[in-house]
Structure 1
Amino acid sequence: MGNFPSQQSNVPHFWPKMEFSLFLSGIIFSIPCYLFVFYHLLNEKTARQSLHNHVILILLFYNFLIVIFDLPMTLNFNRLGYVSPFNQTACLIWQFVDNGIWYGALSLMFWASFERHILVFHTNLVSTTRRRLFFHYILLIFFSLYTPMIYVYLVFIQSCGQIYTETAILCGGICLYIDAPVWLQLYDSYIDYILPILLIPICSITLLCRFLRQKQRLQQNVTWRQCRKMIIQITLISTVYMIFDIPAVIVFIVQVSGYSTFGSDIWSPYLARMTLVPSLIIPFATLLALPKLKGKLRNLCSWKYNQRAVFPGSTTN
C-alpha cells in the first residue's frame, strides 16, 4: 500500500537520500525490538496466555513481515531503479505482503481497538470457554485471515495475463488494479482501507473516554492495573496509525469526491511513505506499554554493562 515510484520531480534533491537513510535506520533499529518483544510475549507464560496479547502478537508478526520484506524491496527499488531480485516468486511475495499483509495488519488493528471494549467493560463475553471461542478466537481468526486470504486469491490464483516488469514498483502491480471490476476496486478501497482507518481512532477514543469516566469504579476492582495497561497499549499503537495513515485517507477521500488533483503534489513523495512508518514504530509502542518488558530491557543493558566492567579489555571468552 505504501509503495511509491522512485522518481519525484517535486521534492528537494536531498530528500530521496535522506528518506532512504531514515527508513534504513528504522529497519535496523526496529528488527531487534521486534525480536525482543516477541521473546517477551512468547516466553512469559502470563503474557502468552493473556487474551489481549493474542491480537498484538499477530499484529506484530504482520508488521514484522512488512519490515523484513516489503520495506527492503521498496527501498532497494528506489535506490537501483529496478526490482532486485527479480523473478516471479519474489514479485508475487512482494505483492502479497504489500497488499494482503498490510491490509491484514490494518484489520487486526481495528479489531484490537474494538476488542479492548470487550476485555475491559464486557468481560462476561469471554468468561467461559464457549464465549471465548466465539467472541475472541473465532473473531481473531477472521480478522487475521480476512484480507490475506482475499489477496492470496488476487495475487497467487487470479490471472489476468499480467507481465512482470523489472522497472515497475511491485513488478507492475496485481490484477485487482489491472482488470478487476470497478465494484471490487471500490470495495477494496473503502472497506479494506478507509473504513478501518476511520474506525480505529473512534474505537480507541471512545475506549479511553469510557475508561476515564469509569475510573473510580474500576479502581475498586482487582483488574484495575491490568485494564490500565491494556488501555495504554492500544492507545499508543492506535495513535501511531492515526498520525501516519489518516492524512493519506483524507486526501484520498477528497480526491474521489471530485477533486482529483487535491494533494497530488504531496501524495507520492510524502503521504504514501507515511503509511509504511507504523510498521517501524509499533514494536517500540508495544515496548513502552509493557512495564515488565521495560524492566527486562533495563536488566539486559545492566547485565551487558557489568560484563564489560568485569572484562574491560577482553575481546574473546
Structure 2
Amino acid sequence: MPSNTVKFWSLLIFLIPSILCALFISYYLLFDRTLRHALHNHVVIVLLLIGLFSEMTNYIWMLVYYQYAGIWQRSNIFCAIWGFNDWALYITYTILLAWATIERHILVFHDRWVSSRRRRLLVHYLPLVCLFLYCFVFYIVVYFIPPCANIFSQTGYICISPCIFNSYTFSMYELVAHQFLPFPIIVIFSIALLVRVVFQKKRTHQPVQWRKYRKMTVQMLSISLLYVVLYFPFLVVSICVLFNVSTDLLNEILPYTTFITYFIFPLYPFVCALSLSDLRNKMYQILHLRRPPRQVGIETFTLRVRENNHTTTKTNY
C-alpha cells in the first residue's frame, strides 16, 4: 500500500500543472467561437469541466488528508459532499465518455442526423443532458436523501459509506450499469471507430474528409485510451474479488490499482491539449513558435521602385 507521503507527492506533482492546463484549454474551448460550436468538442468540454471541478475540490481535500496522515475530523455534511463529489463526478465522467464513443460514429459517418437544429437537439444535446442529470440525481439520492441512515467514519479519506449499497439489488445495478458496462462500450466503439475510419479512407479517397475524420478520431481515441489504460487494472482486480477469486496478492494489488484510477482526471487535460489540433495551433501562436516569414527582399525592391519613380518624376519635371 503506498504511504500517505507517496500519495501526496504523486498527486501534487501532476495536480498543479493539470489545473493550469485545464484552465487554459477551457478558456479557448469556451471563448473561441469555432471551437465552442463544434459538436465533437461539447462532450470534451463537459468532461474537462468535470475533471477540473474534481481537481479543485476532491483532490485538494485528498492532499490535506494525506498531509495529516488521515487524522482529520470532518463533519457529516462535509463527508456527504466529499463522497458525492468523488463518486458522482467519476461515474458521470465514465458514462459520458461511453456515450461519446457512440456519438462519435454519428458525427463522423452519419452527420445528416445532426444537420438541423431539431436533430441536433434530439441526437446530440438531449442524450448529453439526460445522462448528466441521471448521474447527478442518482447520487444525490444515494448521499443526501437515502431511504436509510448513511454510515460515517473518520478512518478513511472518504468518511461516508452509503447505506443503500447494503441492498444487493441496488449495489449490483450500480456496479454493472455504472462501472462494468461502460468499459466494454468504450473499448468496442473506439476500436470500431478506428476500423471504420481506415476503411472509409480507402474507399472515398477524399483528403479533406479524411483530415476531418482523422481529427475527430484521434481526439476520441486519445481520451478513451487514457481511461482504458488506467482503469483496466482496477477492473480486472475488482471482477476477481467480486467472483471470490480473492488471494493475498489481489488484496495487495487492489489499493494500487484503485489509486492509479485517480490519475485519470489530472492527465485528461494534457491528452486534450495533444489531441486538439486547433488548440495546438493556438498554443504555437501564443508561444511564438510559428512566426510569419520576413519579406525583406520584397520590401526593399518595392522601396527602390518607388524611389526610382520619384526620381524619374523629378527629372521629367
TM-score normalized by structure 1? 0.85
Q: Distance in 1 between matches of 2:228 and 2:190?
A: 10
TM-superposed deviation, 1:147: 1.7
Contact kept, 8 Å, 2:80 with 2:160, in 1: the verdict is: no
Is 2:5–2:66's contact at 8 Å kept on the other side of the alignment? no
Task: Name the residue aligned to 2:217.
Answer: 231
Bigger relative contact order (CA 8 A; separation at least 6): 1
The percentage of aligned residue pairs carrying the same residue is: 33
Q: Does 1:295 align with 2:281?
A: yes
Distance 2:7 2:69 in 1: 15
* 8 Å contact from structure 2 (residues 151, 163) kept in 1: no
The separation in 2 between residues aligned to 1:143 and 1:87, in whole angstroms, is 30
Show the counterpart of 2:201: 215
How far 1:161 sits from its partner (Å)? 2.5
Shift of 1:70: 1.5
Matches within 5 A, 1:1-317: 8=1, 16-82=4-70, 84=72, 86-158=74-146, 160-177=148-165, 179=166, 181-220=167-206, 222-261=208-247, 263-268=250-255, 270-302=256-288
Structure 1: distance between partners of 2:132 and 2:125: 10
Mean CA deviation greater in 122-131 or 70-79: 70-79
Deviation at 1:202, TM superposition (A): 1.0
Deviations 1:21-77 (A, max 9, x none): 121111111001100110111111011111111111111111112211122222322
Distance 1:32 1:219, change over 3 A: farther
**How far has the Cα of 1:242 moved from its partner?**
0.7
Cα separation, partners in 2 of 1:202 and 1:183, compared to 1, 3 Å? same
Q: Quote how far apart the aligned CAs of 1:135 are.
A: 1.0
Q: Distance in 2 between matches of 1:163 and 1:257?
A: 26
Matched to 2:94, the amino acid is: L
In 2, Cα distance between the equivalents of 1:221 and 1:295?
Answer: 20
Question: CA contact under 8 A between 1:73 and 1:83: conserved in structure 2?
Answer: no
Q: Which ranges in structure 2 are unaligned for 5 or more consecutive residues?
A: 290-317
Alpha-carbon distance between aligned partners in 2 of 1:73 and 1:120, rounded to the nearest angstrom? 40
- The offset of 1:251, in angstroms, is 1.3
Considering only CA atoms, is the larger Rg found in Structure 1 or Structure 2?
2
Where has structure 1 moved over 4 Å in runs of 4 or more?
Answer: none
Q: Matched residues in 2 for 1:221 and 1:194: separation?
A: 38
Q: CA deviation at 1:176?
A: 3.1
Structure 1 CA distance for aligned equivalents of residues 155 and 175 of structure 2: 25
CA positional deviation for 1:138: 0.8
Q: 1:159 offset after TM fit, Å?
A: 5.0
**Alignment partners' CA distance in 1, 2:170 and 2:151:** 21
Q: What is the rounded CA distance, in whole Å, between the counterparts of 1:64 and 1:135 in structure 2?
A: 26
Distance 1:220 1:298, change over 3 A: closer
3-state DSSP of counterpart to 1:184: helix
Deviation at 1:302, TM superposition (A): 3.7
User: Alpha-carbon deviation of 1:182?
Assistant: 0.4
Q: State the one-letter code of the partner of 2:232.
A: I
Query: How many residues are matched?
Result: 288
Q: Please give the secondary structure, in 2, of the residue aligned with 1:81.
A: coil
Q: If the length of structure 2 is used for normalisation, what is the TM-score? A: 0.85
- Flag the 1:16–1:92 CA change in 2: closer, same or farther, 3 A: closer
Partner Cα separation in structure 2 for residue 95 and residue 176 of structure 1 = 14
What one-letter code is carried by the residue in structure 2 that aligns with 1:136? Answer: H
C-alpha offsets along residues 215-253 of structure 1, whole Å, 9 cap, x if unaligned?
134542744322211101111110000100011111111
Question: Which amino acid is 2:184 matched to?
Answer: L
SS in 2 for 1:170: coil
CA contact 2:113–2:119 (8 Å) conserved in 1: yes
Change (3 A) 1:140 1:290: same
CA RMSD, Structure 1 to Structure 2 (Å):
2.0
**What is the distance in 2 between the residues matched to 1:85 and 1:279?**
26
Alpha-carbon separation, structure 1, partners of 2:114 and 2:170: 35
